[in-house]
């Protein structure tokens, strides 16, 4: 009943008192209906006219004035992922969930502007779900904010004023200062010393004070074998292969004539690890001796050894902690060749030193050193550098101060000099906090190395023309434009389906093409699942366990998923054995070490393999996949079906087209 319309009653016309009485009642009821309408539940149209309010500040509680606050419809973000496969190229229209959705729609989306106190108000917000994305107008803060990665309904947004925090931006004049200064103030993050980011490069016998190997008791298992002394035979040279052009054995191979050279490791009288190369083709060729100074890896399935030639280091041989000789696969034995071709010229049958262009400093270090630099010299060589830190691993530039040769705080948070000396109210404005960035800007910090781009040096390091890595807070597209000459992995780094990664450290390559990264509910970044500071002992720096019988990490978002019901719905068979979400949705398609051994075997005795690096596409590759169907078992892509988890899966015929 509309307000203002009189309520009419039927009364006798010849009874004036009764008429007056009913007129009063009618006026009372009309007023009551109007008042009731003020407090009655809003209609759908009226509910759509909600107002969203809030305040925007930084981590130092300083208000962010004149910032644009956009409501980005979740449906549009979801549609962005459906429009076409996610393109990993420069100027892609759909690899930055928030920025690519906003770019063509900024004039049509509802938005507000913060006042001097950081307050904003957005009226007439339609019913729906939205990501709240902040664009500061100043030069001291980055876009995104703590409400930019998880969509909320209009009712949730309007219920109480939002409190949104944005990240600071690295000042142009900031320089690297080293993790020791960071930990000196942020003592709660001292656990970072126990993470593999800090253990990648270690001086043999002298771990740095920023390194704690206690979580990895078998870290130097391979190193111990070399220190005890052993000889490797390099034979069966195949120039068509990648880094392992030789087969390698601790025993003389069946055909001794196939051996090109040997490398004998020994602990010298000075206590240092060294190895001697000997030409098996020409006894007159003088032997060469090299000193091994550092280990490269050791915490996750493999370890390599950095030896010195002149001013530069080079990696040689790979120890696979899960390798077995009985696997009879050159990539899955305990020891694997790593660029023996740099030490022996198969064309001239002569020993040689490795080429300067292939040094660790030029070919690998950018994704390991904190504050990486590479500067050319007048003589045509180069000098690599990293930030000075009194607790660093080694002094590589000869200035008397050790350098930080592993991933430190500033790789993810940016150079910290201005942050360290700023006043309390300016602390947050001078450093990057990835937790306050939208997924695309947070994720690219990790994916610059956990993918396979090429940069200015024309190798798998995304460095710009000044041979520097990106500064945290850089947009994904600016990174691709300025730091890469090839945006990501080559086709040969994928399985035949062209989708699933085959080469290692391509977790980021996978993630940005997954539904977890681009959807209308929550856009995930690496740190949503991984604890980069390593505050707990869960394997792979996960925030929660994935194999605890409760699927705790997955279930923290995917609630009330019953495995039996889920498998019945998806594949038509109820799996009542103990399986975990990751067994199917995070199959190990990539290989970095020897893998986890044999998978299922067909009746002909041919086995499939289980690899050791997890796909981050979160899909479930099926047995009709081009990487599996019609492929010889030993060369097929590992999938859940071929893992050999039970006796139900039948392998026979799978290798046939």
Q: If you average pLDDT over every residue of the chain, what do you get?
A: 92
Task: Please list the residues that pair with 368 across neighbouring strands.
Answer: none
pLDDT at 642 over 70: yes
- Cα 260 to its chain centre, rounded Å, is 40
Closest to 261 (Cα-Cα) out of 222, 290, 298, 304: 290
Residue located via tokens 């200035």: 399
Rounded CA-CA distance 30/4 in Å is 7
pLDDT > 90? residue 112: yes
Tens of pLDDT, residue by residue over 215-234, are 999 999 999 999 999 999 99
Q: Nearest to residue 467, comparing CAs of 563, 396, 361, 545?
A: 361
Residue corresponding to tokens 């996610």: 86
* 158 contact partners, CB below 8 Å, separation of at least 6: 50, 51, 52, 53, 125
Distance CA 10, CA 206 (A): 102
DSSP state of 466: T
Nearest by Cα to 440 from 485, 482, 472 = 472
- Do 9 and 26 touch, CB atoms closer than 8 A? yes
Give residue-wise pLDDT tens across range 292-347.
Answer: 999 999 999 999 999 999 999 999 999 999 999 999 999 999 999 999 999 999 99
Longest Cα–Cα distance in the chain: 138
pLDDT at residue 535 is higher than 60: yes
135 DSSP assignment: E
pLDDT digits (tens, 9 = 90+) for 407-435: 999 999 999 999 999 999 999 999 999 99
What does the alpha-carbon distance between residue 521 and residue 653 come to, in Å, rounded to a whole number?
41
List the structure tokens of 77: 């973000």
pLDDT, position 48: 53
As given in the structure block, the two tokens for residue 519 are: 């959807």
Percent of the chain having pLDDT more than 70?
93
Mean pLDDT of 541-547: 97
Q: What own/partner pairs with CB < 8 Å and gap ≥ 24 does 496-499 have?
A: 496/626, 496/627, 496/631, 496/637, 497/621, 497/625, 497/626, 497/627, 497/637, 499/617
**Gap between the Cα atoms of 288 and 458, Å rounded:** 30
| Tens of pLDDT, residues 565-578 | 999 999 888 887 78
The residue ranges of every structural domain in the chain are: 1-40, 46-166, 179-199+365-483, 217-355
Return the structure tokens found at 383. Answer: 């000098």
DSSP-derived secondary structure for 510-549:
HHTTSTTTSSSSB---GGGTB-TT--S--GGGBSS-SSSS
Helix (H) or strand (E) holding 63: none
Q: How far apart are the first and last CA of the chain?
A: 72
* pTM score, whole prediction: 0.90
Half-sphere CA count of 358, side-chain side, radius 13 A: 16
Give me the residues paired with residue 314 across strands. Answer: 307
Q: Residue 183's closest CA among 195, 171, 174, 191?
A: 191
How confident is the model over 589-627, as pLDDT tens digits?
999 999 999 999 999 999 999 999 999 999 999 999 999
Q: Which residue has the tokens 């970095």?
A: 592
**What pLDDT is attached to residue 49?**
77
Q: Are 322 and 233 in contact (CB under 8 A)?
A: no
CATH H superfamily, domain 46-166: Carboxypeptidase-like, regulatory domain (2.60.40.1120)
Which is more confidently placed, 5 or 368?
A: 368
450 to 422, 445, 592: CA distances (angstroms): 32, 9, 13
Least confident of 25-34, 87-96, 123-132, 576-585: 25-34
The yes-or-no verdict on residue 285 having pLDDT over 80 is yes
19-30 burial code (b ≥16 CB/10 A, e <16): eeebeeeeeeeb
Q: For residue range 39-96, list pLDDT tens digits in order.
A: 444 444 444 579 999 999 999 999 999 999 999 999 999 999 887 777 789 999 999 9
Residue closest to 401 by CA, chosen among 409, 410, 390? 390
Nearest residue to 301 via CA among 318, 314, 313 = 318
Minimal CA–CA distance to 388: which of 374, 399, 375?
399
Nearest to 550 by CA among 565, 560, 540, 538: 560
Nearby residues of 102 by Cβ (< 8 Å), 6 or more positions away: 70, 72, 109, 133
DSSP β-bridge partners for residue 248: 234
> Phi and psi for 414 in degrees, rounded to 5?
95, 160
* Other C-beta atoms lying within 10 Å of the C-beta of residue 625: 18
Backbone angles phi, psi at 233, to 5 degrees: -105, 125
Strand partners, 268: none
Q: How far is CA 410 from CA 320, 391, 450, 600, in A?
A: 31, 15, 17, 44
Per the model's pLDDT, the better-predicted residue between 1 and 511 turns out to be: 511
| pLDDT tens figures, 183-192 | 999 999 999 9
What are the distances in angstroms from CA 44 to CA 48, 50, 108, 153, 155?
A: 6, 11, 22, 14, 12
Give me the residue label for tokens 């607790």: 391
pLDDT > 90: percent of the chain? 87
| d(C-alpha 318, C-alpha 396), whole Å | 24
* Contact yes or no for 402/395 (Cβ under 8 A): yes
């Amino acid at each position: 009943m509309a307000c203002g319309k009189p309520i009419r009653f039927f009364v006798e016309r010849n009874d004036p008192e009764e008429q007056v009485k009913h007129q009063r009642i009618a006026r009372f009821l009309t007023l009551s209906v109007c008042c009731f309408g003020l407090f009655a539940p809003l209609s759908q149209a009226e509910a759509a006219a909600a107002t969203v309010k809030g305040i925007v500040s930084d981590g130092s509680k300083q208000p962010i004035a004149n910032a644009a606050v956009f409501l980005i419809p979740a449906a549009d973000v979801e549609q962005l992922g459906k429009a076409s496969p996610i393109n990993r190229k420069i100027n892609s229209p759909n690899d930055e969930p928030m920025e690519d959705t906003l770019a063509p729609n900024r004039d049509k989306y509802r938005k507000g502007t913060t006042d001097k106190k950081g307050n904003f108000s957005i009226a007439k917000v339609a019913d729906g779900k939205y990501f709240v994305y902040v664009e500061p107008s100043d030069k001291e803060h980055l876009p995104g904010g703590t409400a930019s990665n998880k969509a909320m309904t209009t009712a949730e947004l309007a219920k109480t004023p939002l409190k949104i925090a944005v990240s600071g931006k690295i000042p142009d004049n900031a320089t690297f200062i080293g993790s020791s200064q960071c930990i000196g103030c942020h003592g709660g993050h001292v656990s970072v010393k126990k993470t593999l980011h800090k253990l990648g490069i270690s001086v043999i016998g002298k771990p740095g004070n920023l390194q704690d190997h206690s979580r990895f008791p078998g870290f130097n298992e391979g190193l111990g074998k070399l220190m005890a002394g052993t000889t490797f035979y390099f034979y069966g040279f195949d120039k068509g292969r990648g880094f392992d052009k030789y087969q390698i054995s601790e025993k003389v191979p069946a055909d001794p004539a196939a051996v090109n050279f040997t490398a004998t490791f020994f602990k010298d009288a000075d206590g240092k690890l060294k190895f001697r190369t000997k030409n098996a083709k020409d006894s007159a060729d003088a032997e060469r001796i090299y000193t091994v100074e550092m280990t490269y890896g050791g915490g996750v399935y493999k370890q390599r050894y950095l030896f010195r030639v002149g001013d530069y280091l080079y990696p040689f041989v790979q120890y696979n902690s899960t390798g077995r000789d009985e696997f009879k696969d050159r990539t899955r034995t305990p020891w694997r060749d790593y660029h023996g071709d740099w030490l022996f010229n198969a064309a001239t049958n002569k020993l040689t030193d490795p080429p300067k262009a292939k040094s660790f400093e030029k070919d690998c270090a950018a994704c390991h050193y904190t504050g990486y630099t590479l500067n050319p010299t007048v003589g045509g060589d180069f000098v690599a550098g990293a930030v000075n830190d009194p607790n660093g691993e080694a002094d590589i530039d000869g200035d008397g101060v050790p350098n930080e040769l592993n991933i430190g705080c500033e790789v993810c948070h940016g150079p910290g000099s201005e942050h360290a000396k700023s006043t309390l109210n300016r602390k947050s404005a001078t450093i990057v906090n990835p937790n306050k960035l939208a997924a695309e800007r947070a994720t690219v910090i990790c994916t610059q190395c956990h993918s396979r781009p090429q940069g200015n040096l024309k190798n798998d390091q995304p460095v710009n023309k000044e041979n520097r890595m990106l500064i945290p807070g850089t947009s994904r597209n600016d990174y691709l434009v300025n730091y890469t000459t090839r945006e990501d992995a080559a086709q040969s780094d994928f399985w035949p389906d062209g989708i699933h990664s085959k080469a290692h450290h391509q977790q980021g390559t996978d993630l940005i093409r997954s539904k977890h990264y681009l959807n209308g509910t929550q856009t995930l970044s690496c740190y949503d699942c991984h604890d980069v500071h390593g505050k707990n002992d869960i394997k792979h720096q996960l925030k929660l366990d994935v194999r605890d019988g409760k699927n705790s990490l997955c279930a923290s978002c995917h609630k009330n998923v019953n495995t039996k019901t889920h498998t019945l719905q998806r594949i038509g068979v109820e799996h009542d054995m103990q399986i975990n979400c990751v067994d199917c949705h995070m199959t190990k398609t990539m290989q970095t070490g020897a893998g986890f051994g044999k998978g299922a075997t067909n009746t002909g005795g041919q086995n499939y393999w289980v690899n050791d690096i997890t796909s981050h596409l979160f899909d479930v590759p099926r047995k009709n996949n081009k990487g599996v169907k019609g492929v010889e078992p030993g060369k097929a892509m590992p999938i859940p079906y071929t893992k050999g988890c039970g006796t139900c899966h039948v392998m026979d015929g799978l290798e046939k087209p």
